[in-house]
A and B are shown apart, each in its own frame.
Chain A
Amino acid sequence: SYELTQPPSVSVSPGQTASIACSGDKLGDKYVCWYQQKPGQSPVLVIYQNNNRPSGIPERFSGSSSGNTATLTISGTQAIDEADYYCQAWDSTTSYVFGTGTKVTVL
């Protein structure tokens, strides 16, 4: 089965850049999206098709993908960005797959 692996946690200082990696076999050949989930809330789509932002998502959120890794970047991180982040892709053998999730802490 297809798997997506993320680091359990990432720490960042306010105003700095946070980068969250998502690794999977030949992930660069697939479309990747990212969800933000704050405590007690439902997931919110923040990036789709590797690097597109839905309406209403701040420009500080961006994405990229190449090789076996996709990356979500939060530029000028704010306290309100503290949340869990999940990557997600689609694979022909496993269908929809979520990453293991990364907790972003803004120190």
Chain B
Amino acid sequence: EVQLLESGGGLVQPGGSLRLSCAASGFTFSSYAMTWVRQAPGKGLEWVSIISDSGDLRYYADFVKGRFTISRDNSKNTLYLQLNSLRAEDTALYYCARKPGVNERVFDYWGQGTLVTVSS
């Protein structure tokens, strides 16, 4: 069974940093691209970033503007998102999700999310 378990969220002051983690199990993690999607309270889904299976390709939404960094450790079956220079508008539930195939631009399994709250 595919499982994705996010952690690392919490309350942080504006300008602060957090590192989110997503522990994967039930599939060959190193064979899949992985992504982060966020959802502000009461709002819709917003794509954040994606990383290739090997980790050599990374893409970000425009609003990230160099503040976030996606990475992965295939030896630990874990995906990461480093959040820096956080703003109030970054407050959201952050989901990790799996991209099923090279030519598939869809996300087939999602974690339960980890909440990031940016507030003074």
Chain B: interface residue count, which band? 20 to 34
Min CB–CB distance A21 → chain B (angstroms): 16
B82 within 8 A of A: no
Task: Give how many A residues have a beta carbon under 8 Å from the other chain's beta carbons.
Answer: 24
**What is the CA–CA distance of A54 and B100 in the complex, to the nearest angstrom?**
11
**What is the CA–CA distance of A99 and B45 in the complex, to the nearest angstrom?**
8
List A34-79 residues whose CB lies under 8 Å from chain B. Answer: 35, 37, 42-45, 48-49, 54
Q: Which residues of B contact A37 (CB under 8 A)?
A: 45
Q: Is the CB of A90 within 8 A of B105?
A: yes
B111 to chain A: closest residue by CB? A42
Given the known inter-chain contacts A90-B105, A95-B61, please indicate yes or no for A42 contacting B110, CB distance below 8 A.
Answer: yes
Q: Is the CB of B59 within 8 A of A95?
A: yes
Q: Which residues of B contact A49 (CB under 8 A)?
A: 104, 106
Q: Is the CB of B95 within 8 A of A88?
A: no
**What is the CA–CA distance of A37 and B113 in the complex, to the nearest angstrom?**
13
Residues of chain B touching chain A, judged by Cβ–Cβ distance below 8 Å, are 35, 37, 44-47, 50, 59, 61-62, 95, 97, 104-108, 110-113
17 A-B pairs, CB-CB below 8 angstroms? A31-B105, A37-B45, A42-B113, A43-B97, A48-B106, A88-B107, A95-B47, A95-B50, A95-B59, A97-B47, A98-B37, A98-B45, A98-B46, A98-B47, A99-B44, A100-B44, A101-B45
